[in-house]
């Protein structure tokens, strides 16, 4: 019997979406306001889900306090109140779209969580726009 447990957190961060190989005009055509040269912010909501069998001894799939600490120490401390393009190494050469941010968060947390558990990241960039990784 598998159960999915989730922890929701949020962080504020600035970004600029652009492809350095394109002109400012082309970037604006593709990314609109998100390509503003002087950056802009989002209130991101991140839902980290862990899926697996509850442990026979504890009844937990994953200790939520531990999950909360992991997210705080390895994701929020790196991204909260940061400029994703300038302040983090992850997006020096990677466009900080919601898609790419979700994959980066998944990669950071994947190595911290037992491989027998599945990990899924849901990232809301706005109240209405969100991405899920992996997609299934």
Looking at the annotation, which residues are catalytic?
Answer: 34, 81, 125
Task: Build a one-symbol-per-residue string for 70-109: x at contacts with Zn ion by CB under 5 A, - elsewhere.
Answer: ----------------------------------------
Question: Which residues, 28 to 47, sit near Zn ion by CB under 5 A?
Answer: 34
Task: Provide, rounded to whole angstroms, the least separation between the CB of residue 95 and Zn ion.
Answer: 11
Which lies closer to Zn ion via its Cβ, residue 83 or residue 122? 83
Which lies closer to Zn ion via its Cβ, residue 114 or residue 127? 127
Report the b/e string of 111-126 with b at 16+ CB within 10 A. Answer: eebeeebbbbbbbbbe
Binding site for Zn ion (CB under 5 A): 34
């Amino acid at each position: 019997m598998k159960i999915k447990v989730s922890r929701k957190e949020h962080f504020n961060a600035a970004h600029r979406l652009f492809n350095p190989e394109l002109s400012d005009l082309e970037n604006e055509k593709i990314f609109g306001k998100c390509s503003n040269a002087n950056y802009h912010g989002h209130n991101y909501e991140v839902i980290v889900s862990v899926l697996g069998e509850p442990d026979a001894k504890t009844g937990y799939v994953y200790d939520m306090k531990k999950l909360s600490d992991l997210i705080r120490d390895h994701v929020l401390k790196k991204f909260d109140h940061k400029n994703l393009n300038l302040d983090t190494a992850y997006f020096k050469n990677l466009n900080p779209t919601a898609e790419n941010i979700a994959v980066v968060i998944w990669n950071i947390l994947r190595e911290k969580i037992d491989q027998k558990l599945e990990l899924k990241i849901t990232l809301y960039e706005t109240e209405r726009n969100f991405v899920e990784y992996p997609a299934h």
